[in-house]
Structures are given as C-alpha cells and as structure tokens.
C-alpha cells in the first residue's frame, strides 16, 4: 500500500469452505517503523555480504 500510495486493500482468502475478504487499512506508523528496521537490516547484513563478495574475487 505504501509503494502503490493506497489507503486500503482487500486481503482475500479462498478455501474449499468459501471466500473470506478482510479490508486492511494503511498504517503510516507501522510503515515508518518497518522502514527503519529494513534499512538497518540492509546496512548490517546485505551490504556487508555484497562488499565481501566483491573483494573476495
């Protein structure tokens, strides 16, 4: 929703028992916290692995 700039989306589950549809609202506070965590993960884990591969050659 953040990337698509949408305020809500529908989460739909289809089973043999039927279909369930749940509307999920955009939560900016959740996204702000998630971006901080994802950035830290990339800087602490992904970037060092990419750099090590370049120097290992």
Domain boundaries, the chain: 8-56
Gyration radius of the chain's alpha carbons? 18
Name residue 18's beta-bridge partners: 15
Beta bridge partners of 15: 18
**What gap in Å lies between CA 50 and CA 26, rounded to an integer?**
33
Assign 52 a pLDDT band (cuts: 50, 70, 90).
confident
Phi-psi region of 10 (alpha: psi -120 to 50; beta: other; left: phi over 0): beta
Please tell me the distance from the alpha carbon of residue 32 to that of residue 38, in angstroms, as a whole number: 10
Per-residue model confidence as pLDDT tens digits over 6-49 = 999 999 999 999 999 999 999 999 999 999 999 999 999 999 99
């Amino acid at each position: 929703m953040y990337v698509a700039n949408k305020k809500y989306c529908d989460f739909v589950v289809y089973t043999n028992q039927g279909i369930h549809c749940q509307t999920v609202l955009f939560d900016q506070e959740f996204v702000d916290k998630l971006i901080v965590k994802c950035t830290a993960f990339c800087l602490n884990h992904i970037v060092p692995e990419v750099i090590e591969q370049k120097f290992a050659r």
